A and B are shown apart, each in its own frame.
Chain A
């Protein structure tokens, strides 16, 4: 009698456990993904982030076993797309690219009233680190960064400097440059994107532009436009002849735009792990490396905790300059 009861109890417990496990929620990582993923890009199609994302998505989906559908949700400098992602269901089927420090400044700028905070996203893996670059038209009178800063000091608020968007990494870089060369003041002109900068510079509407290497390096190679400095700790592989800001004596002027994949907070850890593995493998794939090289986008792969740490550190740095941007008399 006792054995049978014991057996029945055991069976009951087993059945209950099975039911509980099945009802527990998202499928275990081994079965994920069972349908296609959405990879959101917070910018319109055709830009650097988009190009890089499509390259990696095409490779990753082969290993993932499910299609990765790239979705563009541009608008408001990324705020539209990231708001969307922050409200998405954390089931692992909606992930997106985050651009730093753009995301940080969106969160930090009180005027923007962002609907999400720093912890709304779980950084998974970083793909690109595109260093900042200062460039002028080919026939510009400013031959070096020092020339430029000196000119901005002699006639403050006269030289116009273009960014690709308000509180973008370019905007913060201009502030860093002003900080490093006291007295230099630029007239900051916010344009939308690299294409607008190109027309503005070629058409002589602005004097200097702050952007990223990936957007502009090809035109530098042809000589139509000239780079004054790359704002990174080492020279860019794509522009080996352009000096870096530390080399020129401005070691605090370091700026870049990083692009990586993140998921909304709450996605189960096993799924995050799987995504980390898949994308890390995809980014190491020789075809990916080759295509990114052709596109002029420097890889800087940071996975998991390393990326999360970078995210937090950058947030602190961005906070400093965002606050300064608000207080600056000539915004």
Chain B
């Protein structure tokens, strides 16, 4: 296979000590960027572009790509340790990862995240090398109607799994969707629900809201009942049990596939794969009710998915010349500044560069694993700090994080408001996940809906006449039917029992 041969040549170059060094620096910086508040991968990579002026093109791109998938892992660290997701892709990991940390198993959570990320990343890189071009062409058939259908399906899946009450899940979803629409309407340009507050023109800001709902709310809960602090500060060993390994390996396998497939579609974003992987795992599990209390698959699935996604997201860039997300757009900018045009032409003109970069994904993933696995114990030890200092430290972390996003105190205020809201939601047992997913997907869903209608001149039938979107919507209908059925039967059973 020609691909394999080119890959091997790429390896020869990727294993040069300079390129290994760049990958290493990228991984370190990426992890740091993921851990540090407010410096999402986009901001971090943007800051580092000037650095890349001084390196040769290949080295620069290797480093930027390493920063990108390194940051995916860095975000996990804060999710697990303090329930603060550094960026969108790490939100789902909070659900079970943080619970594991509270049980003294932070090390295990981080460890399986590292291993899952590695597995997902390597398989994705391999698949990228083998079948990138044809798969990329397929991904092109996703237009606005297909996006809408995909996101609608995602929303149905999450809502249907929202714990005890379907109605509560629905309400939370709608709440999240409405919040996401605050700001200047992206299609018509009209400010919506901004009440003349200019800081709201760009919307509420996903990061402050989520930092509030998860991080600050958790702290408030901890302050109220100190017994909520770590149930067990003794670190219970770093390795998962045999049974957990078995469950994790399934999760890792499925997470890789989900992350990879979704990564190929330009414009999907890192959040959907993590949510999907988590939900699929929950549905397939024999004990779905245990999700959210600290099950290892709840960490393995999304973590694998997001690293597989990050590696696969390079495909649209390299093969089609289309960036999948703002961070990858920055990497593309790096290409352009160095006088290169990502796309099929680059494959033909500079195969040396492209295949070296692809090979560097492998080396980068290995480096990431080697870097992070030993540190896992160190991170876990951070939790042994007395709870007052941990709380204050986390709050400081959140404040700086929220502020440094746009340099306004407004975001800190938003975070506090949602901290209070999250506090009440948690106390009441209302589900956060549907609201969070809705918050991210809301604008995309609306934009896809309206762009689809522009394409069809107002005809709603466009969603049903196109095969892919029709299939996805049928899937959504199925999910709705099954969930309603499930809830109805459960209720009937309960009523029968109590009679």
**A interface residues, how many (CB within 8 angstroms):** 53
CB of A180 within 8 Å of the partner chain: no
CA distance A187 to B452 in the complex (A): 11
Contacts of B333 in A (CB 8 A): 45-47, 50-51, 54
Shortest beta-carbon distance, B16 to chain A, in Å?
26
Q: A46-B323, A291-B337 given as contacts; is B188 within 8 A of A166 (CB)?
A: yes
Surface stretch bound by B, among A9-17, A68-76, A119-127, A298-306 = A68-76
**Chain B positions within 8 Å of A188 at CB level:** 454
Query: With an 8 A cutoff between CB atoms, is A263 at the interface?
Result: no
Does the CB pair B330–A222 fall under 8 Å? no
Of all chain A residues, the one with the shortest Cβ separation from B337 is A51
Interface residues of A in 107-122 (CB under 8 A from B): 109, 111-113, 115
In this complex, what residue of A is CB-closest to B343?
A219
Q: How far is the CA of A146 from the CA of B283 in the complex (A)?
A: 56
Give the chain B neighbours of A80 by CB distance below 8 A: 184, 201-202
A113 to B189, CA, bound (A): 9
Beta-carbon contact of B332 and A46 below 8 Å: yes
Contacting B at CB under 8 A, from A259-315, are 291, 294-295
Is A199 a contact of B266 with CB atoms below 8 Å? Answer: yes
Are A203 and B140 in contact (CB-based, < 8 A)?
A: yes
Complex Cα distance, B187 from A166, in Å, reads: 6
Stretch at the interface among A22-30, A190-198, A228-236: A190-198
CA distance A203 to B186 in the complex (A): 23
What is the minimal beta-carbon distance from B245 to any residue of chain A, in angstroms? 40
Task: Answer yes or no: B390 CB below 8 A from chain A CBs.
Answer: no
A196 (CB) vs chain B CBs: closest residue: B267
- Check B336–A167 contact: CB distance below 8 A: no
Which residues of B have CB within 8 Å of A50? 333
A160 within 8 A of B: yes
The answer to whether B191 and A218 touch across the interface, beta carbons within 8 angstroms, is: no
Residue-wise, chain B 177-213 has the 8 Å CB interface mask toward A (1 for contact) of 0000001101111110000001001110000000000
User: Is B403 in contact with chain A by the CB < 8 A criterion?
Assistant: no
CB contacts under 8 Å to A, within B192-236, are 198, 201-203
Is the pair A75, B341 in contact by a Cβ cutoff of 8 Å?
Answer: no
| A77 contacts partner chain B, Cβ-Cβ < 8 Å | yes
Q: Is the CB of B455 within 8 A of A166?
A: no
**Is B457 engaged at the interface, CB distance under 8 Å to the other chain?**
yes
Query: What count of chain B residues pass the 8 Å CB interface test?
Result: 49
Partner of B201, one of A72, A83, A198, A224: A83
Using Cβ atoms and an 8 Å threshold, which residues of chain A touch B49?
45, 54
Residue A112 contacts which of B140, B190, B337, B447 (CB distance < 8 angstroms)? B190
Evaluate contact between A187 and B341: CB separation under 8 angstroms.
Answer: no
User: Which one, A58, A77, A202, contacts B189 given CB within 8 A?
Assistant: A77
A195 touches B322 (CB 8 A): yes
Cβ of A99 to closest chain B Cβ, rounded Å? 15
Q: Is A79 an interface residue (CB 8 A)?
A: yes
Within 8 A of A (CB), among B331-359: 331-333, 336-337, 339, 341, 343-345
Interface readout for B37-53 with A: 1 if CB under 8 Å, 0 if not?
Answer: 00000100110011001
Question: Of all chain A residues, which has the CB nearest B406?
Answer: A73
Complex contact A222–B343 (CB within 8 A): yes
- A77, A167, A190, A218: the one contacting B451 at CB < 8 Å is A190
Q: Are B50 and A79 touching (Cβ within 8 A)?
A: no
Q: Is the CB of A157 within 8 A of B457?
A: yes
Asked if residues B191 and A112 are in contact (CB atoms below 8 Å), the reply is: yes
| Distance A295 CA – B53 CA, assembled complex (angstroms) | 14
- Which residues of chain A (171-228) have a CB below 8 Å from chain B? 187-192, 195-196, 198-200, 202-203, 205-206, 218-219, 221-222, 224
Extra pairs beyond A75-B203, A76-B186, A219-B345 (16, CB < 8 Å) = A44-B326, A45-B330, A46-B326, A51-B333, A54-B337, A55-B337, A83-B198, A83-B201, A111-B190, A166-B187, A187-B454, A199-B140, A199-B142, A203-B141, A203-B143, A219-B343
Instruction: Report A's interface with B, CB cutoff 8 A.
Output: 44-47, 50-51, 54-55, 58, 70, 72-73, 75-77, 79-80, 83, 87, 106, 109, 111-113, 115, 157, 160, 166-167, 187-192, 195-196, 198-200, 202-203, 205-206, 218-219, 221-222, 224, 291, 294-295, 330
Q: List the 7 shortest-distance A-B pairs measured between CB atoms, nearest first.
A: A46-B329, A205-B143, A76-B184, A75-B202, A46-B333, A203-B140, A218-B341
